[in-house]
Amino acid sequence: MDVTILGSGSPLPHPERAGPSTLVRAGGQKYLFDCGRGVLMRAAAAKVGAQNLSALFITHMHSDHTTDFNDVITTRWVMSGEPNPLRVFGPEGIETFTDRTLAALEHDIGYRLAHHEDMTEGPRVVARALTPGDVLSEADGVRITVAATDHSPVHPTLGFRIEAEGKVIAIAGDTVPCEGLDAICQDADVYVQTVIRSDIIAKAPSLRMRDVIDYHSDVAQAGETARRCNVKRLVLNHFVPPPPPGREEEWAADARACFDGEILVSHDLMTITC
Ligand SMILES: [Zn+2]
Ligand SMILES: [Zn+2]
């Protein structure tokens, strides 16, 4: 099983970092977690097309995690030779979000149906809301467990534990330490966590920026979660602010102070195999 950080960025546009999105490959399955800015460009670099995805999972409906939902839907539809329904899983509200995205695409769908004789129907998307505790049994023995995370005041938000081939990958998304996060991370081989440098952000002149501290894990909290849950590898992701090139070690220092395992500071297309 492997995990590829397709987009290691945050809401802040960055020339080298696409928006939050992570690919997990297990057996023949390819799962996408979130679909931020530029996801399909990075997926193309990883040699995965929208038409090859087994399913899309959304951790929460913050815009940075969903900006390219429309691109995933449309590109899968156009690139598939036959009907190829996209399964989308997310928190409560995902069905409405899907319906409204499809409604926004109505013009494009109409143009293409009118133009291409071999296209006889619009994109098929099957959206399903998940609740904490749900367990999905997927093809190739993949098991995906859903937990509630804490990104308050954003509700609901989900984290995912992917188990296959005797290994575990935890996709935490945006969350502070909480019970649900611990549950998906327990004994994980790889734990991917959104982090902020709270020491830097606390000094930001903008209140809007300082506000992000209270609903994200900082680097030390990610390290503490990794230690408490006996994780093997911690991937620090979605950094705010991102580390300037060459200073990644400095950005990981607070986690290294409390966690003895391997720590990786993500960049786009970083792939971790377990
Ligand atoms: Zn968020
Ligand atoms: Zn985010």
Please, what is the average pLDDT of the chain? Answer: 97
**Above 90 in pLDDT, residue 213?**
no
Rounded distance between C-alpha atoms, residue 113 and residue 117, angstroms: 7
Question: How many A from CA of 139 to the centre of ligand 1?
Answer: 29
Ramachandran quadrant class, 95 (left: phi over 0; alpha: psi -120 to 50; beta: rest): alpha
Instruction: Tell me the residues surrounding ligand 2 (ion) with CB < 5 Å.
Output: 64, 174
Total domains in the chain come to 1
6 and 39 in contact (C-beta within 8 Å)? yes
74 and 108 in contact (C-beta within 8 Å)? yes
Hey, which residues are catalytic here?
A: 64
**Above 90 in pLDDT, residue 214?**
no
**Above 90 in pLDDT, residue 270?**
yes
> Can you tell me the mean pLDDT for 197-209?
88
Closest-lying ligand to the alpha carbon of 149? Answer: 1
Name the residue range of residue 184's domain. Answer: 2-273
pLDDT at 156: 97
Query: Where does the chain have alpha helices with state H?
Result: 39-45, 63-66, 69-79, 94-104, 106-115, 179-185, 198-201, 207-210, 219-228, 248-256
> Can you tell me the mean pLDDT for 86-103?
98
At 209, the pLDDT band (50, 70, 90 cuts) reads: confident
Peptide bond into 11 cis (omega under 30): no
Domain containing 211 — which CATH number? 3.60.15.10
